[in-house]
Amino acid sequence: MPFPGRNPLTDQRAPRDPHAFIAGLPKAELHVHHVGSASPRIVAELAARHPDSKVPTDPEALVDYFTFTDFAHFIEVYLSVVDLIRTPEDVRLLTYEVARDMARQQVRYAELTITPFSSTRRGIDERAFMDAIEDARKAAEAEFGTVLRWCFDIPGEAGLESAEETARLATDDRLRPEGLVSFGLGGPEIGVPRPQFKPYFDRAIAAGLRSVPHAGETTGPQTVWDALTELRAERIGHGTSSAQDEKLLAHLAEHRIPLEVCPTSNIATRAVRTLEEHPIREFVKAGVVVTINSDDPPMFGTDLNNEYAVAARLLGLDELGIAELAKNAVHASFLDEAGKARIAGEIDAYTARWLAP
Ligand SMILES: O=C(O)c1cccc(C(=O)CC[C@H]2O[C@@H](n3cnc4c(=O)[nH]cnc43)[C@H](O)[C@@H]2O)c1
Ligand SMILES: [Zn+2]
């Protein structure tokens, strides 16, 4: 804590240059999707490798292609990019380049959500898939210093077959990658009730994985309750609709269940109408632990630095407030205590240097 006695989330003053401060701030990211992080350059390169795809090869045309009418349209476009990942080399390239983009933003640690079912059902050998992500993870840590960990998520709309396959890939000792720390649930929520996935989360938790389902992104607060009570969620992906239920906010605050907030994503998928209407202020006011994330950054025309700038504006934060948000992510991560202390220390040291007269 560089300035003891001051409450960083309430005692605010105008920051000197928030964008420059955020750009150099060491960060952790907890909610970001593997395929959804493919930069326009990587999408264009993959589209050129596989010319039968309808995904544009021109990075400029991708801006239009990545404009979504609603959440269902977003998932349709997302799956067209998933269709571009066809070989283990595609998987390795994507993973390694995503880490490079993270390192450029001073991301020291990220939990990347990967949907192995989508790749294995498209014909990528499961062993080769695991080797490709692990190979990229080790190279990225050695070359960029960014530590990656995996969250394997069930694409819920693909049904219980996808849940069975994801649980198998995540818990089979011969396949399970070293970097795997958590188990998730993604895709559309409407018509995909969370409780049906309980047995698969039970298996993953018994195998030592942490529970981090998406919930309350496109449906109401009951979905968040279901994620907590049935799937034993330790963090909630989005949780946007929690703001509609005071008891739920109090529960999240009391039990220190962090929300993985992704403001621009919620606007891009039209889950929330405008940034001004985003409930992030209600979350902070209720004492909920808020972490800031980018979800599918190039698809939503954003990056993690921009999400911090958006959050700082909506919450009226100065540098100490922004640093506090960054530390929330570190403490809510599944890093070991020594790793958390190292990144939190880096954040404090950077902030103190920035604020030094
Ligand atoms: O892979 C398939 O064949 C397949 C078949 C049916 C349905 C699906 C999916 O629903 C895949 C969803 C996919 O979306 C990812 N994702 C990325 N961003 C978000 C988000 O903000 N909220 C929810 N899901 C998101 C998720 O990780 C899944 O991989 C697939
Ligand atoms: Zn997500």
Residues 6+ apart with CB under 8 A from 247: none
> Residues, the chain, total?
357
Q: Whose CA is nearest to atom 10 of ligand 1?
A: 187
Report pLDDT digits (tens) over 180-198.
Answer: 999 999 999 999 999 999 9
Does residue 7 surpass a pLDDT of 70? Answer: no
Which residue in the block uniquely carries the two structure tokens 């990587």? 42
List, for residues 19-53, the tens digit of each pLDDT value: 999 999 999 999 999 999 999 999 988 988 898 99
Whole-angstrom distance, CA of residue 48 vs CA of residue 33:
22
pLDDT, tens digit (0-9, with 9 covering 90-100), for 259-292: 999 999 999 999 999 999 999 999 999 999 999 9
Considering only CA atoms, give the Rg of the chain.
Answer: 19
Catalytic sites, residue numbers:
217
How far are the Cα atoms of 217, 240, 260, 274 from residue 271, in angstroms, in the given order? Answer: 7, 9, 15, 9
CB atoms under 10 Å from CB of 345, counted, come to 12
CA distance linking residue 147 with residue 179, whole number of Å:
9
Distances (CA, A) of 37 to 99, 298, 301, 331: 9, 6, 11, 23
Query: How far, in Å, from the CA of 219 to the mean position of ligand 2?
Result: 14
Which pair of structure tokens corresponds to residue 49?
A: 């490798």
The yes-or-no verdict on residue 1 having pLDDT over 70 is: no
Residues with Cβ within 6 A of ligand 1?
33, 36, 75, 78-79, 82, 113, 115, 118, 121, 153, 155, 157-158, 186-187, 214, 217, 265, 295-296
Tell me which of 1 and 26 has the higher pLDDT.
26
The DSSP secondary-structure symbol of 209 reads P
How far is it, in rounded angstroms, from Cα 44 to Cα 136?
20
What's the CA gap between 43 and 288, in Å, rounded? 36
Mutate to test the pocket of ligand 1, among 68, 75, 189 (most ligand atoms within 8 A of CB): 75
β-bridge partners, 246: none
pLDDT in tens, 294-306: 999 999 999 999 9
Residues 6+ positions from 97 with CB-CB distance below 8 Å: 38, 39, 41, 42
Phi, psi of 335 (to 5 degrees): -70, 155
The confidence score (pLDDT) of residue 252 equals 98
Q: From edge to edge, which strands make up the β-sheet containing 107-114?
A: 27-33, 107-114, 147-155, 180-186, 210-211
